Amino acid sequence: MKDNQHVLVFDLGNTRIKSACFLNDELIEVEYFNPDDESSIIAYCNQFKDAKKIVASVRSDAYNQNFQLALNGCQFIDTATPNGLISNYQSPTLGIDRLCNAVFLKNTKGGTRVCIDIGTCVKFDCVDENGVYLGGSISPGINLRYRALNDYTAKLPLLNEKSPQILIGNSTSKSISSGVINGVLAEIIGFMDFYRANFSDLTFFVTGGDAENFDFPLKSDIFVDKNLTLKGVYLIYKFNAV
């Protein structure tokens, strides 16, 4: 890997695209794009003519093929890309976003480390004190919960409220928002307590597009890093760089 060479890292998520620019192992800027805004993504890349472009995607094969054509020369990583992670995961269908989060955890000092990724889904991923990936959990995120309530009932409206909510809603809309937002928060805090009951020397890392909508209790074992997945993609790139 050459010094003074920009590396553009892309995280193609279900609802948005994030890109980070690294220079000499330092993250220098982060940009966000609508998945359909191809022209803005190309214009951004054109600012860095000689940059390496590394992509991790949970989107469809068709979208990924179009993205690769648009960003000529970009390199996709997947779960088969060497990454240095020892894994106890038993399924071949581990998502690349979860893998990147686990690689970040593995390269972070400490005992047992847990990533909480709050986005389209709420994902927990755990790496033990020996750097071994154990697995985690997946449940619906905020938008999926709102959509399910609308799709599977005749009269409940489709909402998108993400701000903190009162406990007792005094209208249908406020009751739905309380159930979704406070439900997600209660689930996350409950899972954290489960982990604390099963592991000592534990550290949590919170990330994801919807993480900013929650205020977690101030504890010394909780860190927020909204660019954690991008950093994991970069670490996989570095592991394979010559």
- Whole-number average pLDDT of the chain: 94
Quick: pLDDT tens for 106-142. Answer: 999 989 999 999 999 999 999 999 999 999 999 999 9
Q: Residue 76 belongs to what H/E stretch?
A: strand 75-76
Using an 8 Å Cβ cutoff, are 85 and 106 in contact?
yes
Phi and psi torsions of 38, nearest 5°: -60, -40
Q: Is the pLDDT of residue 32 over 80?
A: yes
Q: What is the pTM of this model?
A: 0.93
**Domain positions in the chain:** 6-76, 86-142+172-226
Catalytic residue among 50, 61, 97, 221: 97
Average pLDDT over residues 79-84: 94
* CA dist., res. 13 & res. 219, Å (int): 29
Average pLDDT over residues 207-219: 87
pLDDT at 72: 87
Average pLDDT over residues 169-194: 97
Q: Is the pLDDT of residue 1 over 80?
A: no
As assigned by CATH, the class of the 6-76 domain is: alpha beta
* CA dist., res. 206 & res. 47, Å (int): 31
Q: Is the pLDDT of residue 235 over 80?
A: yes
Average pLDDT over residues 166-180: 97
Q: Residue 144 belongs to what H/E stretch?
A: helix 142-151
Q: Are domains 6-76 and 86-142+172-226 of this chain identical in fold?
A: yes
pLDDT at 142: 97
pLDDT at 2: 63
Q: Is the pLDDT of residue 101 over 90?
A: yes
pLDDT at 216: 81
- 97: annotated active-site residue: yes
Q: Is the pLDDT of residue 220 over 90?
A: no
* CA dist., res. 128 & res. 167, Å (int): 35
At 218, the amino acid letter reads L
Structure tokens belonging to residue 231: 């950093």
Q: Is the pLDDT of residue 104 over 60?
A: yes
Phi and psi torsions of 69, nearest 5°: -65, -40
pLDDT at 49: 82
Give the model's confidence band at 39: pLDDT under 50 very low, under 70 low, under 90 confident, else very high: very high
Average pLDDT over residues 14-20: 93
* Domain 86-142+172-226: assigned CATH number: 3.30.420.40
Q: Is the pLDDT of residue 18 over 90?
A: yes
